[in-house]
Structure 1
Amino acid sequence: MKQILIINRMNTDNFGDRIITKSMTNLFNDKNIRVKHADYIFSPEIPFEKYSWTKRATRYLKKIVYKLFCIKEVSKSDAVIFGGGELIASNGIFFSSFIQWNKIIKAVNKNCKCFLFSVGVTGDFSENKKGKLNQYLMDYKGIYVRDFGSQKKLSDLTNENPTKVDFTPDCVFSLCCEQTKSEDKLLLGITSLFRHNKQKK
């Protein structure tokens, strides 16, 4: 049986991202494809002064165990899909997580097909980060972003990449034409009922 690994923010409260994950899972299961899930974010380094040695050791152990889990699942997967969600970002933890995942894929399963699906792109990327993005995205079989802004940004960042950046709308974004004034553009965030009720308390 073929296996696909879906990588995104597993604990997100964004209902749209969760729907995308659920829909993809159901689609592949209907085609008799095994689906595994993994969290996109790798834990950041822990400052010495913040935790005791016991807590630091526990956190590092969990981090090592999680990386071993990631390596195992990537090695068994025929394809890896990143998405949905705002995963391609220039900030530290999101960018470093993208690089770490791609290093694992390159190291343990070079035949694995990679895709971005309904992702958001945000931030200002340095030339160094732009180069690293291109290095890995060059081999992606499909790149699909969730809004027009992300499509333009990623197209500009990867203008030498032969893989076209396509648009796949996310249900938490409204579609707007180019003539719409920026202040009139609507961004609608759909939050899970669990998170909504928790915030009301």
Structure 2
Amino acid sequence: LRDFAHSDRVTIPAELYVLADLSGCAAVAASSDDYLIPSCILNATVSGLVSRSIYDKKKLGADDFHGCVYYGQFIAHDLSNYFVDEILAATGHIRQEPKSSRDTGLSRHQLQHISQTLLHRIAERYSVSRQHYIKPGIGEATRVLLRREARLLLLQDSESEASLHLRWLAESRAVPVELCNDLPYCAVALIKEMHND
């Protein structure tokens, strides 16, 4: 950020800004709703050539927590502006001001409490040794089913249209699905634990 501020004369606070924050970790979030954000599974070529968040001790400073990678080598394949233009064209008929907010209105502290309670409960109920094997939310569950070896998919509502793709992915990969009506999120995926993790 310092380099960007110096080169472009724009100062951006060193805080996390996100579209959706289920767990209350970001400084600023547009929503705390659990919904699938397409770029969370489409990655850098529709996200300004910026990766998802990563933690790599070799690339981060001693005081850094998470970072991201800029993939300048893929500039010829960047579809970010096209992606945004297509979304705008598809949603142009929608009024500028929504009729009602879908956001839960919960405080960051409340969201953090809900998230931590869920992680502890799931870890205990399913004998999960480390919380990073628990991936709450539709976006994270989608990533697990696409890119990891999933152990189990938990769904809040087995008939929800929002989880249709998750049910299809789970079935196609022979991942068990369990209905869990008391989930605070639409979906939670458990990653299969490997002994060398």
Query: Normalised by the size of structure 1, how large is the TM-score?
Result: 0.28
More helix by share: 1
TM-score, normalised via structure 2 length: 0.28
Q: Which structure has more strand as a fraction of its residues?
A: 1
